[in-house]
Structure 1
Amino acid sequence: MSGKSKASPNVNGAGFDATAAIDPKHALVPAVQKVNEQRVAQGFWPKFRKVAAKIPFADDVLSVWYCARDPTTPKAAKGLMMAALAYFVLPTDAIPDILGVIGFTDDAAVFAAMLALVGKNLKPRHREAAQGFLARMKGD
């Protein structure tokens, strides 16, 4: 088998593009999880501070961020949470965020789907931390 005949589309050709949209089928692949974690580490707080007042699901986004960083959260749940957070951070998505509230409907749908799958991992402490941060943010 030659290097050109490998089955994986991410091995040959252009390879993995860290700025491309996230394929949900690969959310739990370790290399993708690492890229998602890097995207979230670099882009979460700037994006969140910029849009928190514009989105009605800001408390969910922040609760998921706290949960994904909690060492007691299972790895599979963290992987899906990081994928949703990375999608939120990604500047290019299905509906551009520059379109105002409508631009965040795809982000809300991604979070709703993710929460349906792994939302049981969100603990009251994650929601309380999110609500506390949002209250402090409004007080600024």
Structure 2
Amino acid sequence: MFGKRKTLEQDHSAQAKAYEKKYTDDSFWDKVIKFARTAGREVIEKALWLYYAAQQPSTPVWAKTAIYGALGYFISPIDAIPDIAPVVGYVDDLAVLAAAVATVATYITADVKLRAADKLQGWFGARD
């Protein structure tokens, strides 16, 4: 049982590193700006939390690796559920982003959330 768990963790780590290599700031902002309304506020909020948390010097390398892996998945045109699929296209992205948020929650500070909220208000208006 423990051997199987180790293999799953290694597979997950390899996948995260593959997506991390696909990440660039330019491709992140291109995706966010182009698909903000389609993806929805919750997806973009989590993506921005992760982005701004990764920019902080206090965020450790392991957390940045998890963040860039999740953001790399988000910007990748190849998803488990294609982003162009109506209604469900961003469900897998949301799941990956939410898992990363849970993993690095300590580094998603009030300042990070404020910066994200400012961007979100510009794109989506004030929160209800």
The TM tier, using the shorter chain, reads 0.7 to 0.9
Q: 1:109 aligned to 2:95?
A: yes
Which residue of the partner structure matches residue 82 of structure 2?
96
Runs of 4+ in 1 over 4 A off after TM superposition: none
Which residue of the partner structure matches residue 73 of structure 1?
59
Whole-Å separation in 1 of the counterparts to 2:19 and 2:70 = 11
Which residue of the partner structure matches residue 107 of structure 2?
121
| CA RMSD of superposed structures (Å) | 2.1
**2:28 alignment partner AA:** F
Q: 1:24 aligned to 2:8?
A: no
Which residue of the partner structure matches residue 41 of structure 1?
25
SS in 2 for 1:57: helix
User: Residues 85-140 of structure 1, C-alpha deviation per residue, up to 9 Å, x if partnerless?
Assistant: 0000001111000013301110111112112221221001001001101212346x
- Quickly say closer, same or farther: Cα 1:112–1:125, change in 2 above 3 A: same
Larger Rg: 1 or 2? Answer: 1
Give the alignment's TM-score, normalised by structure 2: 0.77
Q: 1:58 aligned to 2:62?
A: no
Structure 2: gaps of 5 or more residues: 1-10
**Paired residues, number:** 113
111-120 or 92-101, larger mean C-alpha shift: 111-120
| Identical aligned residues as a percent | 34
Which residue of the partner structure matches residue 7 of structure 2?
none
Structure 1: gaps of 5 or more residues: 1-22
Give the alignment's TM-score, normalised by structure 1: 0.71
